[in-house]
Chains A and B, each alone.
Chain A
């Protein structure tokens, strides 16, 4: 089955700096990679996703890159703000089947003033 590894487990940045979270996956057939943000005591919310036929996707201050050859994908947050503080999860799945989303172990991002 799919295995997703996520690093780092914790990340502290100063407000205005950039943050990068990296994930690797094992199943070369995986073709959809969502990123979720989870605030304390709440359920995860999808913030951005990328398909395997795209190398990069941006949405304002958030971007995701995908390297299919190396089987890794990354989340980039620029100009970080205190409200970006949360736990971020990456995930991978091969769509169109009964496959299940496989999640990384999460990264706790702390944006300090």
Chain B
């Protein structure tokens, strides 16, 4: 099956710890994205990558870091510098330059800081 997978589904972190969220896609998409979703709010873009070894900050990049060493993978690290990390995190991918830039989303990871 082709698609986007995120792991883990639920993640708990103690304050002061860094944590990495996994995102893998086998759609052969060039572009990948990380969004944060808070209750009652829309999706806010954290980081995006249009090609391997390149990525750009989104609207709320502070306290987060990413890497794009492989086309299929775009892990997100939530660092201790992120003041309010408890949220639902969504990864997405799209064909770069493809029709309408349609984005396909993964199932999400719910991060809770204890």
Cβ < 8 Å to B, chain A residues 31-53:
32, 34, 36, 41-46, 49, 51
Q: Is B48 an interface residue (CB 8 A)?
A: yes
A93 touches B43 (CB 8 A): no
Of B64-72, B76-84, B94-102, the one contacting chain A is B94-102
Contacts of A89 in B (CB 8 A): 42-43
Of A13-21, A57-65, A66-74, A94-102, the one contacting chain B is A94-102
B108 touches A41 (CB 8 A): yes
Contacts of A100 in B (CB 8 A): 33, 45, 48, 58
Q: Is B85 an interface residue (CB 8 A)?
A: no
Contact A9 to B40, CB < 8 A, known contacts A43-B90, A43-B106, A43-B108: yes
Q: How large is the interface on A (under 10, 10 to 19, 20 to 34, 35 or more residues)?
A: 20 to 34
Q: Is B53 an interface residue (CB 8 A)?
A: no
- Rounded to whole Å, the gap between the CB of B13 and the closest CB of chain A is 19
B97 touches A96 (CB 8 A): yes
CB-contact partner of B108 in A42, A46, A93, A106, under 8 A: A42
Q: Is B107 an interface residue (CB 8 A)?
A: yes
Contact with A along B44-76 (1 / 0, CB 8 A): 010010100000101000000000000000000
List A residues at the B interface (Cβ < 8 Å).
4, 6, 9, 32, 34, 36, 41-46, 49, 51, 89, 93, 95-96, 98-101, 103-106
